[in-house]
Amino acid sequence: MFTTQTLWNFFYVLIFPGALFTAVVGLFLAGIDRKVIAHMQHRIGPPIRQPMYDFFKLMGKETIVPARANKIVFLGAPVVGFISLAVIMLFIPIMGFTAFSGNADLIVILYLITIGGVALIVGGSSSGSPYAGIGISREMVTMMSYELPFVLVLLAVARKVGGDSLVFSMEAIAEWQAVNGSLAFHWSMIPAALAMLLVIPAEVGMQPFDVAEAETEICEGPLIEYSGAALGMFKLNTAMKMAIMTGLFTSLFFGGFRTGMMWSDVALFVIICMVVTLVCITTIHAVTARLKIEHLFKFFWTFVSGLALASLILAWMGL
Amino acid sequence: MFKKLIDKSAAKSPWIYHINTGSCNGCDIELVACLTPRYDAERFGFKLAGTPRHADIVVISGPVTSQSKERLIRTIAQVPEPKCVVTVGSCPQSGNVFKGSYSVEAPVEQYVHVDVAVAGCTPKPEAIMEGLYKAALLLEKKREAMHK
Amino acid sequence: MMQHYPVLAVMLLFLAAFLVEIFGSKIAAIRNLITFAASTTALVLIYALIPAVMLRGEIISYWMGNWAPVSGYAIGIGYEIDALSLFFALLVVTTFWLSGIYSFGYMKKDHHLGHYYTLYLMLSGSVLGLVMTGDIFNMFVMVEIMTFASVALTAFRNESEGALEAGFKYLVIGSVGSSFTLAGIALLYGECHTLNMAQLSAILSGGLTKNSMMAMGLIIAGFGVKSYIVPFHTPAADAYAVAPTSVSMIFSGMVNKAGVYGMIRMVYIVFRAMDQSSVQMLLAVFGAVTMFVGVTMALTQHEFKRLLAFHSISQIGYVITAISLGSALGLTGGLFHALNHTLFKGLLFLAAGAVLYATGTTNLDKLGGLSKRMPHTTICFLVGAAAISGLPPFNGFASKWIVYQAVYTNAVESGNFLYVIITVTALIVSVMTLASFVKVTQAVFFGQLREEHKEVKEVPAIMLVPMYIMAALCICGGVFYNVVNTYLLAPASAAALNVTNYIDKMMGEGYADAAGVVNILAKPVEFSFWNPIMWLVLFGVVMAAAVLVIVFGENSRGKVLVPTENADPKYATFFSGEEEMFSQVGGSDLFWGFKKNWQGYYKVMQGLHSGIVTDYTTMTVVATAIIVLCCFVFMR
List, for residues C474-532, the tens digit of each pLDDT value: 888 887 887 888 788 888 888 888 788 888 877 777 777 777 777 765 555 656 555 65
Judge whether residue C564 has pLDDT over 70: no
Give Cα C342 distance to the centre of its chain: 4
Cβ within 8 Å, pair C579-B3: no
Who contacts C148 (Cβ-Cβ below 8 Å, separation ≥6)? Answer: none
Matching CATH number, B14-146, of 3.40.50.1100, 3.30.1360.70, 3.40.50.12280, 1.10.10.10: 3.40.50.12280
Who contacts C215 (Cβ-Cβ below 8 Å, separation ≥6)? Answer: C183, C184, C185, C187, C188, C191
Q: Which of A79, A102, A129 sits opposite C574 (nearest CB)?
A: A129
Give Cα B17 distance to the centre of its chain: 7
Minimum mean pLDDT range among A112-126, B39-53, C484-498, C550-564: C550-564
Q: Touching B: which chains, 3+ CB pairs < 8 A?
A: A, C
Q: How many Å lie between the alpha carbon of C448 and the closest alpha carbon of chain A?
A: 6
Using 50, 70 and 90 to split pLDDT, how confident is the model at A149? very high
Judge whether residue C536 has pLDDT over 70: no
- Cα gap C587→C301, rounded to integer Å: 8
A27, A57, A210, best to mutate vs chain B, most B CBs in 10 Å: A57
Minimum mean pLDDT range among A15-29, C357-371, C522-536: C522-536
Residue C544, Cβ neighbours under 10 Å: how many? Answer: 10
Cβ within 8 Å, pair A140-C441: no
Q: Mean pLDDT over residues A39-49, rounded?
A: 88
Q: What local confidence, expressed as pLDDT, does residue C82 receive?
A: 87
Judge whether residue C551 has pLDDT over 60: no
Q: Which residues of A touch B44 (CB under 8 A)?
A: 46
The H or E element spanning position C151 is: helix C136-154
Judge whether residue C431 has pLDDT over 80: yes
The burial class, CB within 10 Å (0-12 / 13-18 / 19+), for A125 is buried
CA distances from C56 to A228, B144, C59, C526 (A): 58, 69, 9, 18
Name the residue of chain B whose CA is nearest to C577's CA.
Answer: B71
The burial class, CB within 10 Å (0-12 / 13-18 / 19+), for C143 is buried
Cβ within 8 Å, pair C560-A59: no
Cβ within 8 Å, pair B43-A44: yes
Cα Rg for chain C, rounded, in angstroms? 25
Cβ within 8 Å, pair C577-B147: no
- Find the helix packing angle between A190-204 and A130-162, rounded to 10°: 160
With b for 16 or more beta-carbon neighbours within 10 A and e for fewer, the A87-113 pattern comes to: bbbbbbbbbbebbbebbbbbbbbbbbb
Minimum mean pLDDT range among A161-165, B90-94, C199-203: A161-165
Establish if B71 touches chain C: CB-CB under 8 angstroms.
Answer: yes
Which range is most confident: C115-119, C357-361, C392-396?
A: C115-119
Cβ within 8 Å, pair A228-C558: yes
Contact indicator for C338, C89 with CB cutoff of 8 Å: no
- Cα gap A318→A316, rounded to integer Å: 5
List, for residues C285-309, the tens digit of each pLDDT value: 898 999 999 898 888 888 888 888 8
| Main-chain dihedrals φ then ψ at residue B88, nearest 5 degrees | -115, 125
CA distances from C376 to C271, C364, C387 (A): 47, 19, 17
Establish if B148 touches chain A: CB-CB under 8 angstroms.
Answer: no
Contact indicator for A43, A289 with CB cutoff of 8 Å: no
| Total count of domains within chain A | 1
Domain layout of chain C by residue ranges: 2-527+588-634
With b for 16 or more beta-carbon neighbours within 10 A and e for fewer, the B53-72 pattern comes to: bbbbbbbbbbbbbeebbebb
Strand, coil or helix: B61: strand
Who contacts C428 (Cβ-Cβ below 8 Å, separation ≥6)? Answer: A144, A147, A148, A151
Mean confidence (pLDDT) of chain C = 83
- Cα gap C142→C14, rounded to integer Å: 12
Torsion of CA C278, C284, C289, C290, to 10 degrees: 130
Using 50, 70 and 90 to split pLDDT, how confident is the model at A177? confident
Using 50, 70 and 90 to split pLDDT, how confident is the model at A68? confident
Cβ within 8 Å, pair A61-C375: no
Using 50, 70 and 90 to split pLDDT, how confident is the model at C186? very high
B58, B67, B78, best to mutate vs chain C, most C CBs in 10 Å: B78
The CA-based diameter of chain B, rounded to the nearest angstrom, is: 54
- Cα gap C347→B132, rounded to integer Å: 54
Q: What local confidence, expressed as pLDDT, does residue C547 receive?
A: 63
Domain layout of chain B by residue ranges: 14-146
Strand, coil or helix: B34: coil
Strand, coil or helix: C196: strand
Which residue from C120, C395, C55 is spatially nearest to C254, judged by alpha carbons? C120
Q: Mean pLDDT over residues C125-145, rounded?
A: 90
Q: Mean pLDDT over residues C198-219, rounded?
A: 84
Judge whether residue A18 has pLDDT over 80: no
Establish if C565 touches chain B: CB-CB under 8 angstroms.
Answer: no
Beta pairing, strands B84-88 & B57-61: parallel
- HEC assignment per residue over chain A: CCCHHHHHHHHHHHCCCCHHHHHHHHHHHHHHHHHHHHHHCCCCCCCCCHHHHHHHHHHCCCEECCCCCCHHHHHHHHHHHHHHHHHHHHHCCECCECCCCCCCHHHHHHHHHHHHHHHHHHHHHHCCCHHHHHHHHHHHHHHHHHHHHHHHHHHHHHHHHHCCCCCCCHHHHHHHHHHHCCHHHCHHHHHHHHHHHHHHHHHHCCCCCCHHHCCCCCCCHHHCCCCHHHHHHHHHHHHHHHHHHHHHHHHHHCCCCCCCCHHHHHHHHHHHHHHHHHHHHHHHHHHCCCCCHHHHHHHHHHHHHHHHHHHHHHHHCCC
* Spans of chain B, pLDDT less than 70: 1, 148
Q: Which residues of A touch C591 (CB under 8 A)?
A: 137, 140-141
Q: Which of C369, C435, C574 sits opposite A219 (nearest CB)?
A: C574
Q: Tell me, what amino acid is at C537?
A: V
Q: Which of B2, B42, B81 sits opposite A56 (nearest CB)?
A: B2
Tell me the β-bridge partners of B88: B61, B118
Contact indicator for C493, C335 with CB cutoff of 8 Å: yes
List, for residues C71-109, the tens digit of each pLDDT value: 778 788 888 888 888 889 988 998 888 888 888 888 877
Q: Tell me, what amino acid is at A241?
A: K
Establish if B13 touches chain C: CB-CB under 8 angstroms.
Answer: no
Q: Which residues of A touch B135 (CB under 8 A)?
A: none
List, for residues A256-301, the tens digit of each pLDDT value: 777 777 788 888 888 888 888 888 888 888 888 888 888 888 899 8
Judge whether residue A151 has pLDDT over 70: yes
Q: What angle do CA A289, A294, A300 make, to 5 degrees?
A: 80
Give Cα C120 distance to the centre of its chain: 17
C429, C438, C579, best to mutate vs chain A, most A CBs in 10 Å: C438
